[in-house]
Each structure stands twice: as C-alpha cells, then as structure tokens.
C-alpha cells in the first residue's frame, strides 16, 4: 500500500492511558494520512470533557491529524453520535436485502438461552430464532409497539479469512459467530457496525488497534462485504502488559497521559518509549517524531505482548532532558520555580537542571536550595561543614574575593590557603553551599548561586572572625 491512511478511534469514556496512546502513536507514525474519529455512541458514558482531554493529550504528544475534530476539515462527521443518518442508510440496505432482521428477544430470554448453551458445553451464540419470523409476524410485533434490535444475518457454513498485518493469516468459521446485533433497541449503533462502516467510508486503508479487537474483525468483514464496501487491512497490536505480566491497568503502573503531563514527563520521552513497546527500532537513541515516523515499519510490530516499565520511561525522560534546549527547559519548569530564579542566574541554573534533574520537582528543590534562604541542613551535614573549621571558610571567603566567578581559580586558591584536598576540600563546601552532600557538580553549585548568597553561606561557618 503506497499511501496508508490510518485512524485513531477512541471512545471518550475516560482519560487516555498508555495503551490507547500507543495505538494512536503507531497509527500516526504509519499513516501518510491520519484521522481522528470520536466513537461516542455510548451516550451515557461518553463525555465532552474526555473529548477535549483527548485532543489536548494527542496534541501534547505532538500528534497531528489530517481529518477529525479540530482539524481543517469539517468536524461534525467525525463524531459517531452525529452520523445516525449515515448508519440508517446502511441498516435499510441490509434489511431490504434480508441480510439483517429485527429481533424481539428480551434480555431475559437471551440470558436463559445463553445459560442453557453454556450448561450443554456449547459456546453461546444467538439461535437465529427471530430470523425465522415471517414478515407478518414482524409487522404484528412492531404494531404492538415491541422494541426490536437489528441483527446481522451471518451466512452459515462459511469462513472469513484475512491476513492480519501483525498476526498473519486468520480464519474464522461463520458457524461460530451467530447472528449479532448491529443496532440496539434504543436505536444506537453497535460498535461492530459503525466502526466498520466508518472505516470504509472514511477511506481508512489500515486499521491498527489492540489485539482484543481481533475477534471482532470477522464480524466487521462480513458487514462490509454484505454492503459491498471497501475492507481495510487490519493490524492487531499486541497488548501492553504491566511489570507483573498482567494487562496494563491502574493496579500495575498504568497512568493517564494527563497524569504523566502533570508529573513533568516530556512528550518526546513518552513517544520514544511508547514507539518501542511492541515495535522494534534499530536506533536506540532519542528520535524526533519525524525520525520515528521515517523509520516506523509495520513489519517490526511484534506478536507477543510487551511490558511497560516505568524505568524505561524514565530513561527516555533523562535523554530528553539532557538534549532539551534552554528555552524548552525554562518553560518546562514549574511557574513557582521560575519565580525564584534570579534573572542573571537563569542560564547557569538551566544548565544545572539539564545535567542533574529529570523532573520539575527536583529542579524546584535545587532552585529552593540555591535561591532562597531555606537551607536547613541536618545536624550530620552541618557537622561535615563545621569539621573543616572556621579557618577553612575564612580562606574560602578570601578565595571568592579574589577569584569571583572563576571556579578553578577559587579552588586553587582555597587549596593553597587551607592545605585541604580531595574530599576534605569538596565535602565541607558542598555542605555549606547546598546543605547536602550529593547533587550537581560543585562548579555548578558555585556558579549558579548569586555571589552574595555564596559569601553568606561560607560566612555562616567562618565564625565570629567574619
Ligand atoms: N472505539 C474503539 C475503542 O476505543 C475503537 C476500536 C478500533 O480501533 O477499532 O476500543
């Protein structure tokens, strides 16, 4: 296929999670044209807030769609709740061709029949009872005001075959399917139906979706063939598992995209991680979305489920932060962090963040340490500084006066004046300047501080002599 057209077709019944985000990403990476369709047929569970959140999440990830809500194309057609007339046309067509029939069985009747089949060790499927009603019977029941669903008449004793782009050749016996509902009693379209019709009408060439939809596909192909509509290729992507090997869920580490955004994850980190869950790239470095797209290969989608591991995401996060430019990192910081970084120290602080932080909270902690008076070292850390003695800090103050911003000169002077070296030189300075014994390189701590704060912190330990 030279010009693949793909789609993402979420149901707006909740926040977007990692599994869905990966489906969207693969579809966007593979499609030359990519469309977004909102499958909001479940009126009770679909909510507008989830739609806006979905659009925000996709945009945040850097995914753009050529057609769909918020794109340059007219949008109302991309909400299934607005497409009743389209579906009505095809119901009509199927009914007239006797490829679909009204079913009056009540939920209780269906449930009883299901139990009987299960008890007899048979797979539950609809008996086809209402499919045998005469036209008069149907008319009489409709006249009585009985509610009916519409069922698709599945051809008997036949097979549906297709070549899944991930899972290879598939073959289903139609006798295992049973006539299924395509319109619910309340008039709303069933998933199998509107999803398949829309893919065909919207010119989708490749449907990429979770493997949990694999068994829906024969039903959808039957509908499309019955209507003489175009059938797409299908690529059923392996499930994402949590770190315990069970399907990814809130319990084993899944997060909503919204939550990841709030935690300060960088979209490029997320897409680099997602693009490698169940898809193999030769290049193991951080890639831009364009590069990910260029090297995406539908043949590189794996058949076996793959695991999501937060450590992988954090690895990509670190790479993304290390490569980000100043302006990006500045905006990535929390507003309250930006508010406490003095303008002249900004460039050096960002540089420090780039090499030492992975999350905005960590950056905030360092900003607080460097730029506010809130240094509260533990007694042990204070002891490390005190141990160096007042003379050491007096020498440090002299060295600052001479060296100013020049860290190498400062250290040389301090070494010469105090006679301290190695850990005895570094640790007391670190303790005095940051109240911590770990963290960024000393040169960064030294240079990111405002000169008067630096002097004040050294003076704290220089005793009465200052
Ligand atoms: N609305 C369906 C879902 O969210 C779409 C499935 C599909 O991609 O075909 O599961």
CATH number of the CATH domain containing 182: 3.40.50.620
Per-residue pLDDT reduced to its tens digit, 268-314: 999 999 999 999 999 999 999 999 999 999 999 999 988 999 999 99
Q: What's the domain count of the chain?
A: 2
Average pLDDT, integer, range 34-42: 96
Ligand 1 pocket residue status of 41, Cβ below 6 Å: no
- Most informative mutation of 8, 58, 197, 209 for ligand 1 (most atoms within 8 A of CB): 209
Q: What is the Å distance from ligand 1's center to 55 Cα?
A: 16
Q: What is the Å distance from ligand 1's center to 39 Cα?
A: 7
Residue 421: its pLDDT value, please? Answer: 92
Residue 248: its pLDDT value, please? Answer: 86
Report the percentage of the chain scoring pLDDT > 90: 91
Atom of ligand 1 nearest to the CA of 199: 9
The overall average pLDDT reported for the chain is 94
Please check whether residue 276 lies inside any domain of the structure.
Answer: no
Please check whether residue 34 lies inside any domain of the structure.
Answer: no
Q: Give the CATH number of the domain where residue 439 resides.
A: 1.10.10
Average pLDDT, integer, range 152-178: 96
Average pLDDT, integer, range 237-262: 89
Atom of ligand 1 nearest to the CA of 216: 9
Average pLDDT, integer, range 125-139: 95
Q: Is the pLDDT of residue 243 over 90?
A: no
Q: With cut-offs at 50, 70 and 90, classify the pLDDT of residue 464.
A: low
Per-residue pLDDT reduced to its tens digit, 320-345: 999 999 999 999 999 999 999 999 99
Q: Is the pLDDT of residue 408 over 70?
A: yes
Please check whether residue 160 lies inside any domain of the structure.
Answer: yes
Q: What is the Å distance from ligand 1's center to 315 Cα?
A: 30
Ligand 1 pocket residue status of 195, Cβ below 6 Å: yes
Minimal-distance CA residue to ligand 1 atom 4: 10
Domain extent for 203: 84-237
Ligand 1 pocket residue status of 189, Cβ below 6 Å: no
Atom of ligand 1 nearest to the CA of 208: 8
Please check whether residue 261 lies inside any domain of the structure.
Answer: no
Q: What is the Å distance from ligand 1's center to 387 Cα?
A: 65
Average pLDDT, integer, range 399-414: 96
Single residue among 221, 237, 253 that ends a domain in this structure: 237
Please check whether residue 254 lies inside any domain of the structure.
Answer: no
pTM of the model: 0.92
Residue 466: its pLDDT value, please? Answer: 47
Q: With cut-offs at 50, 70 and 90, classify the pLDDT of residue 74.
A: low
Please check whether residue 368 lies inside any domain of the structure.
Answer: no
Average pLDDT, integer, range 61-76: 86
Q: What is the Å distance from ligand 1's center to 26 Cα?
A: 14
Ligand 1 pocket residue status of 80, Cβ below 6 Å: no
Per-residue pLDDT reduced to its tens digit, 80-105: 999 999 999 999 999 999 999 999 99
Q: What is the Å distance from ligand 1's center to 25 Cα?
A: 14
Single residue among 208, 237, 266 that ends a domain in this structure: 237
Please check whether residue 314 lies inside any domain of the structure.
Answer: no
Please check whether residue 266 lies inside any domain of the structure.
Answer: no
**What is the SS3 assignment for the chain?**
CCCCEEEECCCCCCCCEHHHHHHHHHHHHHCCEEEECECCCCCCCCCHHHHHHHHHHHHHCCCCCCECCCCCCCCHHHEHHHCHHHHHHHHHHHHHCCCEEEECCCHHHHHHHHHHHHHCCCCCCCCCHHHHCCHHHHHHHHHCCCCCEEEECCCCCCEEEEEECCCEEEEEEHHHCCCEEEECCCCCECHHHHHHHHHHHCCCCEEEEEHHHHHHHHHHHHHHHHCCCCCCEEEEECCEECCCCCECCHHHCCCEHHHHHHHCCCHHHHHHHHCCCCECCCCCCCCCHHHHHHCCCHHHECCCCEECCHHHHHHHHHHHHHHCCHHHHHHHCCHHHHHHCCHHHHHHHHHHHHHHCCCHHHHHHHHHHHHCCCCCCCHHHHHHHHHHCHHHHHHHHHHHHHHCCCHHHHHHHHHHHHCCCCHHHHHHHHHHHHCCCCCCCHHHHHHHCCHHHHHHHHHCCCHHHC
- Most informative mutation of 195, 223, 234 for ligand 1 (most atoms within 8 A of CB): 195
Residue 229: its pLDDT value, please? Answer: 98
Single residue among 237, 270, 295 that ends a domain in this structure: 237
């Amino acid at each position: 296929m030279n010009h693949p057209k793909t789609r993402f077709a979420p149901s707006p019944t909740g926040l977007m999670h990692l599994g869905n985000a990966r489906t969207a990403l693969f579809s966007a990476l593979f499609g030359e044209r990519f469309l977004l369709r909102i499958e909001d047929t479940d009126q009770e569970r679909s909510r507008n807030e989830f739609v806006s959140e979905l659009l925000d999440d996709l945009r945040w990830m850097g995914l753009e769609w050529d057609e769909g809500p918020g794109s340059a194309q007219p949008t109302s057609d991309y909400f299934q709740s607005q497409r009743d007339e389209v579906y009505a046309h095809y119901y009509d067509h199927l009914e007239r061709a006797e490829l679909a029939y009204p079913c009056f069985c009540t939920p209780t009747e269906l449930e009883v029949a299901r139990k009987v089949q299960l008890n007899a060790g048979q797979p539950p499927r609809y008996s086809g009872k209402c499919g045998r009603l005469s036209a008069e019977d149907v008319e009489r029941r409709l006249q009585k005001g009985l509610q009916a669903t519409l069922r698709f008449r599945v051809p008997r004793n036949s097979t549906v075959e297709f070549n899944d782009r991930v899972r290879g050749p598939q073959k289903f016996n139609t006798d295992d399917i049973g006539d299924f509902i395509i319109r619910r009693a309340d008039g709303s379209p069933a998933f199998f139906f509107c999803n398949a019709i829309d893919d065909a009408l919207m010119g989708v060439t490749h449907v990429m979706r979770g493997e949990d939809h694999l068994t829906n596909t024969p039903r959808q192909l039957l509908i499309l063939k019955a209507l003489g509509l175009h059938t797409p290729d299908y690529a059923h992507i392996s499930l994402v598992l949590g770190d315990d090997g069970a399907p990814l869920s809130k319990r084993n580490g899944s997060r909503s995209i919204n939550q990841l955004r709030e935690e300060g994850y960088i979209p490029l980190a997320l897409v680099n991680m997602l693009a490698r869950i169940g898809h193999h790239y030769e290049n193991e470095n951080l890639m831009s979305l364009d590069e990910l797209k260029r090297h995406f290969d539908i043949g590189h989608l794996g058949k076996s489920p793959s695991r999501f591991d937060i450590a992988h995401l954090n690895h990509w996060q670190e790479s993304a932060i290390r490569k980000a430019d100043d302006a990006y990192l500045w905006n990535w910081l929390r507003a309250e962090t930006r508010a406490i970084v003095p303008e002249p120290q900004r460039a050096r602080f960002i540089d420090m963040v780039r090499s030492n932080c992975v999350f905005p909270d960590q950056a905030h902690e360092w900003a607080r340490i460097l730029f506010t008076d809130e240094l509260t070292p533990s007694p042990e850390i204070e002891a490390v500084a005190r141990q160096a003695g007042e003379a050491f800090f007096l020498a440090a103050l002299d060295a600052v006066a001479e060296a100013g911003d020049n860290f190498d000169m400062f250290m040389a002077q301090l070494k010469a004046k105090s006679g301290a070296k190695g850990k005895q030189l570094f640790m007391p300075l670190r303790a005095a300047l940051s109240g911590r014994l770990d963290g960024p390189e000393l040169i960064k701590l030294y240079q990111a501080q405002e000169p008067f704060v630096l002097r004040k912190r050294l003076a704290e330990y220089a005793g009465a002599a200052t």
